[in-house]
Amino acid sequence: MGISIEKATTTRYNSIDWNNLGFGRFFSDHMFISRFENGHWDEGKIIPYGPICFEPSMMTLHYGQTIFEGLKAYFDVNGGVNLFRPDMNAKRMNKSADRLCIPRFNEEKFVEAIIELVKLDHKFVPKVYGQSLYIRPVCFGSSCVLGVHPASEYTFIIITSPVASYYPEGLNPVKILIEDQFVRAVRGGLGDSKTAANYAASLYAGQKAKEMGFSQVLWLDGIQHEFVDEVGAMNIMFVIDDVLITPPLYQGSILPGVTRDSVLCLAKEFGIKVQERSIKIQEVIQAYEKGTLQEVFGTGTAATISPVGVLYYHGKEMIINNNQIGPVAQKMYDTLTDIQYGKIKDIYNWIVHIDI
């Protein structure tokens, strides 16, 4: 048995402000839903997007047993729609599931459900370069009982949302506050899982940074506040003395980004020297003072590449590359987006093409 489809009888298409999409404000006509009960996942079905009904005792509301993913569908300039490395999201979702004691979801089914959903709602994939259909799989403990233990029932949902740029700045450099008081994740914690708790933990510092005029915070390690971790919704990369440096994954405190992995792969192809290693914030400051800090940029599905124009730490403002996007960030952005929109050949087999 495959995924059953119940089609919407009305469309949300005309209620979308297509000239002012923003990010995550509008949703397409359908969603995928699957439930885990009595020890197994059901076949799942696609139904009209709409409210879901739960009792107030639903476990995830209390104990936060929630994981999610984020990926995009892009219009292909040659026709059809492209997904970018959805298998990586399926794998990461299951890694998060293991950490949060959530039963694994079949990875092929994860991709199949997305393909079916995007096929059905393909008219919601914007035909504008830089815009896309954001895909949000989410899975949570949905038993309705109290008590701190893993739920026995789970709900897995995929919704989609036509989006423009995540940051109002677009590809213009963002201002980032280096956070030295609050922490997002500690080694041994949940940092490398895509779970709601990490985002809840980030809100207060993020809000404070916004009030001070910054787009996001750069998190330092949770113990010494010395080593760079990542940005709110992005991994971070530095170009120092022509070497691309990014914090390593093995400490478990940062999310293993799909974009991060893709950029590292491209960098090697472009002959750029890459170092995945711990980097102290003092090393970044010293490089800035010596004039060897050439570029700083974030990598993530939402923005693809987001150049950092200003880093602020202990009252000191570091202006990176004259507040302009640098050549490495630009090349990464151009190459990734050209692959995603089908403008250049995908030699890595990253694209899952959907004929419409």
Ligand X SMILES: Cc1ncc(COP(=O)(O)O)c(C=O)c1O
Which residues bind to ligand X, rule: CB under 6 A?
Answer: 70, 230, 233-235, 255, 257-260, 299-301
Whichever of 142 and 259 has its CB closer to ligand X, that residue is: 259
Whichever of 222 and 257 has its CB closer to ligand X, that residue is: 257
Whichever of 299 and 321 has its CB closer to ligand X, that residue is: 299
Whichever of 58 and 351 has its CB closer to ligand X, that residue is: 351
In the bound complex, what is the minimum distance in angstroms from residue 334's beta carbon to ligand X? 17
Whichever of 162 and 257 has its CB closer to ligand X, that residue is: 257
Half-sphere exposure of 130 (CA within 13 A, CB side): 11
Tokens 């009595």 sit on residue:
38
Alpha carbon 330 to chain centroid, angstroms? 20
In the bound complex, what is the minimum distance in angstroms from residue 35's beta carbon to ligand X? 25
Whichever of 142 and 165 has its CB closer to ligand X, that residue is: 165
What count of other Cβ atoms lies within 10 Å of the Cβ of residue 212? 11
Whichever of 155 and 299 has its CB closer to ligand X, that residue is: 299
What count of other Cβ atoms lies within 10 Å of the Cβ of residue 153? 17
In the bound complex, what is the minimum distance in angstroms from residue 5's beta carbon to ligand X? 28
In the bound complex, what is the minimum distance in angstroms from residue 246's beta carbon to ligand X? 11
In the bound complex, what is the minimum distance in angstroms from residue 11's beta carbon to ligand X? 29
Whichever of 206 and 326 has its CB closer to ligand X, that residue is: 206
In the bound complex, what is the minimum distance in angstroms from residue 260's beta carbon to ligand X? 6
In the bound complex, what is the minimum distance in angstroms from residue 287's beta carbon to ligand X? 23
Whichever of 44 and 137 has its CB closer to ligand X, that residue is: 137
Q: What is the 3-state secondary structure (H, E, C) of the chain?
A: CCCEECCCCCCCHHHCCCCCCCCCCCCCCEEEEEEEECCEECCCEEEECCCCCCCCCEHHHHHCCEEECCEEEEECCCCCEEEECHHHHHHHHHHHHHHCCCCCCCHHHHHHHHHHHHHHCHHHCCCCCCCEEEEEEEEEECCECCCCCCCCCEEEEEEEEEECCCCCCCCCCEEEEEECCCCCCCCCCCCCCCEHHHHHHHHHHHHHHHHCCCCEEEEECCCCCCEEEEECCEEEEEEECCEEEECCCCCCCCCCCHHHHHHHHHHHHCCCEEEECCCEHHHHHHHHHHCCEEEEEEEECCCEEEEEEEEEECCEEEECHHHCCCHHHHHHHHHHHHHHCCCCCCCCCCEEEECC
In the bound complex, what is the minimum distance in angstroms from residue 348's beta carbon to ligand X? 15
In the bound complex, what is the minimum distance in angstroms from residue 258's beta carbon to ligand X? 4
Class of residue 2 by CB neighbours under 10 A (exposed 0-12, middle 13-18, buried 19+): exposed
